[in-house]
Amino acid sequence: MYAGNIGATARVMRNMGLSELVLVSPAADITDRQARQLSTHGEDILDNARIVTDLGEAVADCVLVAGTSARVGGPFRRQSAGTPDEILPHLVEASAQGPTALVFGPEPNGLSNAEVTRCHSVIHIPANPSYPSLNLAQAVAVVLYELRRAWLKRTELPIAPAPAAPFADLERMFGNLRTALEEIHFLYGDNADTLMHALRHLIGRARPTAMEVDVLLGLARQLRWYARQKNSSTKGTTDHEKRIE
């Protein structure tokens, strides 16, 4: 209905990696100045948008079609309704067999019951029940964000965690850390071994990587440097006081 929403939709499509926009009997003109202004970097999507007269024509080649609706009551919407994270993984999976489609209704009333019936499922954004109707472009942004998340989860290889540091490196780090903690008097007296044992288990459970072990070694070096500076300062103050006396 409104050129601004078409432009904003083109922009978010560009943000989320989609390119094919089909408009069913739009009242707004995609060449309108407001559509262009709000389509930042999505102008090519507007230029290549298809305009058709019927929903069936828009999704004729699609293997799976998901509509969107703020209303999920009644026999036409309740049975196939789900949240974006429930519906969109199926859309991504089906895209391996052919084109899939997301269908958004016009701003005043959304999709009609007849249009919902032609969709395989209905996406419902669980907004505040007292005012669940989103601006069209905002609804597109929410759904396309979730679609991209579902697509990334399916297509991206998981990032392997960095391997834990070797035992020898851990022992070297623990030795340095113990010396540093003794020099600042965190470890002293009868409780020193118990405290160090607790620290070893605390750090060991985290399975630190080689880089994290280096960070702890750096911490130990800085603690020892501080202890030396503190001792030197205290010694100088004591000598000065003796000379005054």
Domain boundaries defined on the chain: 3-155, 167-244
* 237, pLDDT greater than 60: no
Q: What architecture is the 3-155 domain classified under in CATH?
A: 3-Layer(aba) Sandwich (3.40)
Structure-model confidence comparison of residues 185 and 155, the more confident one:
185
Predicted pLDDT of residue 40: 92
167-244 has which fold? Helicase, Ruva Protein; domain 3 (1.10.8)
Does this model's pTM top 0.75? My answer is: no
pLDDT for 70 equals 84
- Average pLDDT of the chain is 90
What are the C-alpha distances in Å from 151 to residues 1, 33, 120, 154, 182? 29, 33, 19, 5, 52
Instruction: Reply yes or no on whether the pLDDT at 244 is more than 70.
Output: no
Instruction: List Cα–Cα distances, 113 to 72, 73, 118, 142, 239, in angstroms.
Output: 11, 11, 9, 23, 92
- Percent of the chain residues topping a pLDDT of 70: 92
Mean pLDDT of 90-104: 94
| CA–CA distance, 112 with 245 (Å, rounded to integer) | 96
Q: What is the pLDDT of residues 154-184, one digit of tens each?
A: 887 777 888 999 999 999 999 999 999 999 9
Reported as a single tens digit per residue, the pLDDT across 1-16 is: 999 999 999 999 999 9
pLDDT at residue 219, rounded to an integer: 95
CB-side neighbour CA atoms (13 Å) of 65:
17
pLDDT of residue 232: 79
Three-state DSSP state, 24: strand
Between CA 83 and CA 125 the distance in angstroms is 6
